[in-house]
Structure 1
Amino acid sequence: MSDNIYQDLQQLGGDTVLPDTPENAILESVKNPQADVDYMIRFTAPEFTSLCPMTSQPDFAHLVIDYIPDQLLVESKSLKLFLGSFRNHGAFHEDCTVSIARRLIEEIKPKWIRIGGYWYPRGGIPIDVFFAQGEIPKGVWVPEQGVAGYRGRG
């Protein structure tokens, strides 16, 4: 492989600043070196945070992002910084979860994507948000996300 598919990355391997908003975050991608085969990638963010747009109180979620790439892969450090940019972003759970999915779709155009947003209770009600788009190619192993539903009574 003579092409360096990583040469244009701006954030990996250097100092970076957490973006102040999701809109200002740069999601980087690289060419999928295994584009001739279908496989699934999983990112888990068990300490995702955002802010309630009404109270500015913190909201916490366990995010699981699964996708089957086509020609591009999301670069993981840029994804981490993108997710971190929600820390001071005010939006409801549904908006955060679906916005993350839509941004990934825009940037890497996966064959299939699924995001589970398992939000911790605020006001006594846990809210789980699920998004999926595309068809799972035949023969791809797609495991369950493995996050237990909220059990307030133990």
Structure 2
Amino acid sequence: MIEIERKFLIKNDSFKTTAFLQNHIAQGYLSSVPERTVRVRLKGENGFLTIKGISNESGLSRFEWEKEIPVDEAKELLKLCEKGAIDKTRFEVKIGNHVFEIDEFYGENEGLTIAEIELSSETETFEKPSWLGAEVTHDKRYYNSYLSNNPYKNW
């Protein structure tokens, strides 16, 4: 499956008042190389294994495969991950016909909040809420796999 996604910084935390869902996420990487990232994630009460390919030239699209796995297996796999775990809360906010996933990071990435929106095409338009800041889709520093090895606090 091809994932088409855009990323943005957040101007303020006013999005929290309209979030319809909120989950704690702990994740690590079995492989953080851009050509094939392999991520293990605990999201709320669920475990996931995700494989992503390298982004296309525009930076908007890439292959993504995800499978739900038992929580106990996800916890065991997290022990095998590279250094630099990601710890964050994900807020989901519906704006128009789209859902923004806003990640508020903790630990080594404290102070960083990023919104992502998945689209059906690279040219699809969407409503931009007032709390949405600068687009960072093309900046690889904002990929979770990059943040796990190069935390925001060190920028």
Please, what TM-score do these two structures have when normalized by structure 2? 0.25
Relative contact order (alpha carbons < 8 A, sep ≥ 6): 1 or 2 greater?
A: 2
Query: Which of the pair has more CA radius of gyration?
Result: 1
Please, what TM-score do these two structures have when normalized by structure 1? 0.25
